[in-house]
Amino acid sequence: MRDDSAHHHGSGQNSPGRGRRGDKRRLDDDEPYFAKRSRHRVAMPSVETFDITDGLPEGDRWSTWDQPAAGERGPRPYPSWLVTELAAVDTELGILKTGKEADVFLLRRGVPQTGPSCLLAAKRYRGAGHRMFHRDSGYLEGRRVRESRASRAMAGRTTFGREAIAGQWAIAEFAALVRLHESGIGVPYPVQVTGTELLLEFIGGPDGTAAPRLAETRPPDAQLRALWDQLVDALVTLARNGLAHGDLSAYNLLVHGDRLVMIDLPQVVDVIANPQGAMYLERDAANVATWFTARGLTGASPAPGDLPALLRYEARLD
User: Is the torsion defined by CA of 121, 188, 168, 99 positive or negative?
Assistant: positive
**Whole-prediction pTM:** 0.76
Structural domains of the chain ordered from first start: 31-201 (3.30.200.20), 214-314 (1.10.510.10)
Q: What is the pLDDT, as a whole number, of residue 312? A: 96
The torsion angles phi and psi of 162, rounded to 5 degrees, stand at: -65, -40
Look at residue 16 in the predicted model and tell me its pLDDT. 38
What per-residue confidence (pLDDT) applies to 54?
A: 52
Q: Kindly give the parts of the chain with pLDDT less than 70.
A: 1-55, 127-167
Q: Is 237 helix (H, G, I), strand (E, B) or coil?
A: helix
In this predicted model, what pLDDT tens digit does every residue of 83-119 receive, in sequence order?
999 999 999 999 998 887 899 999 999 999 878 999 9
The enclosing H or E element of 90 equals strand 89-97
Q: What are phi and psi of 87, to 5 degrees?
A: -80, 0
